[in-house]
Amino acid sequence: MGKGVAKSLAGVPAEMGTITASGLKLDSFKHEIQDYLVAGWTVTLGMPAYSLSGTINTGSGSGTATFSVPAKDIEGVQVDMAAGLQTGDRVLTIPVNGGNDVVVLCRVVDNCA
């Protein structure tokens, strides 16, 4: 079956697929692929400045306080996309290694929702 996948996908650009209960089903390939890869992303997360207000309870009473947090870039944040994929999710994939492997690049969502 691996050779069939390779032959079917060799030279094919990015492809849409659907996550199934046990693998990945590409739109143009009739067999489910159970051994696929998922892109790993390391990003810098930009956090804007913000304030939080609330009640503080202490042993001697309570009061209100506001905490101001400055803007901050957090480097090296790992995006675990594989953990967030669910059955039925539409994904964008690309064949690699001459079509022997398929990498899920991202989940695709409907912009109209």
Percentage of the chain modeled with pLDDT above 90: 69
The pLDDT assigned to 37 comes to 95
User: Rounded mean pLDDT of 41-51?
Assistant: 96
User: Rounded mean pLDDT of 28-33?
Assistant: 90
User: Rounded mean pLDDT of 43-59?
Assistant: 93
CATH class of 1-40+80-113: mainly beta
User: Strands 50-58 and 101-107: what pairing?
Assistant: unpaired
Q: What mean pLDDT is reported for the chain?
A: 89
Task: Report residue 46: phi and psi, to 5°.
Answer: -90, 115
Indicate the domain borders of the chain. 1-40+80-113, 43-76
* Confidence band for 86, pLDDT divided at 50, 70 and 90: very high
